[in-house]
Structure 1
Amino acid sequence: MVDAPPARRTGRARDTAGIGVARAVTFVSPALVLIGLFLVFPALWTIYIGITDYTLTGTASVAPKIVGLGNFVEALDDALFGNALWLTLVFVLGSAVIGQNFLGFALAWLLRGARPALRRVVESLVLMSWILPSVVVAYLWIALLDRDGGTLGALIGSPGTAWLVEYPMASLVVFNTWRGTAFSMLLYSSALAAVPPSQLETARSVGASGWQTVRDVVFPHIRGHVLTNTLLISLWTANDFGPFLLTAGGPNHASETLPVFIYQQAVPSGRLGYAAAVSVLLLLVNLVVSAVYLLLLRKRS
């Protein structure tokens, strides 16, 4: 019996499903078309607009001119862009990396041994804040933090405090922590279920405190989940437009994160080319964060 050529043997070895290359390409082509249509093409179009002086109205909206890296240079020299970048960093660190991470893990850890009924009630309440429409959530928080008739002012006995005006970023951090904790709670609940109970029982029997148990027993098992959760919630928060619904970037740009800054430049100001360039810079920041995550994950492996 004559052996098949090496190239053919290699091809068969890689075709583990046995359906053939042509049929495999046919199966994945709809997904590739959707990815190209809704992800690759918009990204390339944004990059193109970012190197033009495209505007919402006027002659540049009909016949935009290529300006090269002019928009990118202007953005890096723009004090408002620097302010938006810093506020985005504060927003991500405060509400995602610290807020949602710690609160989500704390809820998952405390609910492990809770009664099923209590656990379902708490999880339902936390999930409700995540699945409600953004407009509804924003309205509820405006009603809570309103200066004249806000619920928070009435509860703590300090009516007349304009929380969204006097403490805009602190309000947004608390708001986004409350809004997005559900995802972290669900992910950590699933991760904690994979921790061997025997190791937890051993730590308890030797007198380890709760923090020692988390540090020495739990964290080594869920380190990958922590990295994954931190990456996802950081990217979601960095691109979140929710702050606009509460403060619209005010007062005086004090809560203008990058997504809000991009909107302000694109729609009210009509500078679509400049806004697209800032969007590309935000995309690059997201790619850097993702690369750091992959590097940490590789080191862990």
Structure 2
Amino acid sequence: MPPADIATAPPPVTAKKTKNSALATDSAGLGRGRALLFVTPALVLIGVFLVFPALWSIYIGLTNYTLTGPTSVSPEIVGVDNITDALGDPLFGNSLWLTLVFVFGSALIGQNILGFTLAWMLRSARRWLRRLVEALVLLAWILPSTVVAYLWVAVLDRDGGTLNALVSTPGTAWLIEYPMLSLIVFNVWRGTAFSMLLYSSALDVVPPSQLETARMVGAGKLSTLKDVVFPHIRGHVLTNTLLITLWTANDFTPFLLTAGGPNHQSETLPVFIYQQALGSGVLGYASAISLLLLLVNLVIALVYLRLLRRRG
């Protein structure tokens, strides 16, 4: 009789059990073959609608491919000439600068600040008021771009516009005299919903006891936000900033309001690419600029991911 305190040896592993363990290498017990079979449809869709168009766009950007003419049938490889031409094009530089202004004003400043302000103020609001504000903000976000653009054209109209009637500025053509300011205000109004929802969820992780302690010791609102709230939601701030930055930099909605005018004063990079591709018909040049925009997006994403990793 073996002593009670001595553990018995485990039973030997059978060949059948070893074979099953080799097949079921994932937590769900499907095995690599079955797991690959499940994800194959998604991989095919990603390849057809994302990877292939991206590779085709890169290829076109290396050619002098045009919408019409001989080069639309037999384009020639020009290498990086399209990129060097773009870097020396004053219109490209103008579009790049306007895109930076548009992103900084409407995303980094406007949507971030307004979204957080709404989320912070609605924490202590009555339930019905909170639901009403959330519904109105979400309505601006979920409406189709064409509908929203039509509404804002009516609001900013020179003759019978709602804004001119409210501020008593008859005859002011906002989309012509202040095109970028109009686009920034429009994008802030439309895109704040995402930031508000994300910050509302982030504020739920802030311990109420810490907020109460800050209130009891007499800390001001700014001190409470700086020392109590933001240390808990810093990761959410970086995530929100990354997403709205990328969305705004690639937003084509400004074309619906101003079409890049007047005189290229509101021609952001997506609008500039569209004008070059379908307006001027130089698809190779437009694809090269699209590649530059993709590289800018990757750099922005890497910077934010590095900040998130440093925080972790």
TM-score (norm 1): 0.96
Identical positions, percent: 74
Rounded Cα–Cα distance in structure 2 between residues aligned with 1:9 and 1:22: 13
Rounded Cα–Cα distance in structure 2 between residues aligned with 1:222 and 1:152: 37
**2:27 pairs with one of 11, 16, 20:** 16
Q: CA deviation at 1:146?
A: 1.0
State the AA in 1 paired with 2:107.
A
Rounded Cα–Cα distance in structure 2 between residues aligned with 1:10 and 1:101: 50
State the AA in 1 paired with 2:94.
N
Q: CA deviation at 1:260?
A: 0.3
State the AA in 2 paired with 1:244.
F
Rounded Cα–Cα distance in structure 1 between residues aligned with 2:23 and 2:220: 55
1:170 aligns with 2:181: yes
- What secondary structure sits across from 1:254 in the alignment? coil
Cα deviation per residue 1:133-168 (whole Å; 9 max; x = unaligned)? 111111111111111111111111111111111111
Q: CA deviation at 1:15?
A: 2.4
Q: What corresponds to 1:227 in structure 2?
A: 238
Rounded Cα–Cα distance in structure 2 between residues aligned with 1:125 and 1:201: 31
Q: Structure 1: which 4+ aligned runs deviate by more than 3 Å? A: 1-4, 8-14
Q: What corresponds to 1:114 in structure 2?
A: 125
- What secondary structure sits across from 1:267 in the alignment? helix
Q: What corresponds to 1:286 in structure 2?
A: 297
Paired positions, count: 299
Q: What corresponds to 1:210 in structure 2?
A: 221
Rounded Cα–Cα distance in structure 2 between residues aligned with 1:54 and 1:86: 27
Rounded Cα–Cα distance in structure 2 between residues aligned with 1:42 and 1:2: 50
Q: CA deviation at 1:41?
A: 0.6
Rounded Cα–Cα distance in structure 2 between residues aligned with 1:52 and 1:124: 48
1:193 aligns with 2:204: yes
Rounded Cα–Cα distance in structure 1 between residues aligned with 2:221 and 2:152: 34
Q: CA deviation at 1:17?
A: 2.4
Q: What corresponds to 2:91 in structure 1?
A: 80
Rounded Cα–Cα distance in structure 1 between residues aligned with 2:35 and 2:109: 43
**2:38 pairs with one of 17, 23, 27:** 27
Cα gap change, 1:183 to 1:278, in 2 (>3 Å): same
The answer to whether the 8 A contact 2:25-2:31 is kept is no
- Structure 2's unaligned 5+ residue stretches are 1-11
State the AA in 1 paired with 2:159.
D
Q: What corresponds to 2:5 in structure 1?
A: none
State the AA in 1 paired with 2:110.
G
**2:266 pairs with one of 255, 258, 261:** 255
Alignment of 1:88-167 (within 5 A): 88-167=99-178
The answer to whether the 8 A contact 2:23-2:32 is kept is no
TM-score (norm 2): 0.92
Q: CA deviation at 1:2?
A: 6.7
- Greater CA radius of gyration, 1 or 2? 2
Rounded Cα–Cα distance in structure 2 between residues aligned with 1:58 and 1:10: 62
Please provide the CA RMSD for this pair: 1.7
Rounded Cα–Cα distance in structure 2 between residues aligned with 1:69 and 1:283: 16
Q: What corresponds to 1:245 in structure 2?
A: 256
Rounded Cα–Cα distance in structure 2 between residues aligned with 1:264 and 1:72: 17
Rounded Cα–Cα distance in structure 1 between residues aligned with 2:94 and 2:14: 67
Rounded Cα–Cα distance in structure 2 between residues aligned with 1:195 and 1:218: 6
State the AA in 1 paired with 2:69.
G
Rounded Cα–Cα distance in structure 1 between residues aligned with 2:14 and 2:92: 65
**2:307 pairs with one of 290, 296, 300:** 296
| Greater displacement, 209-218 / 178-187 | 209-218
Q: CA deviation at 1:272?
A: 0.5
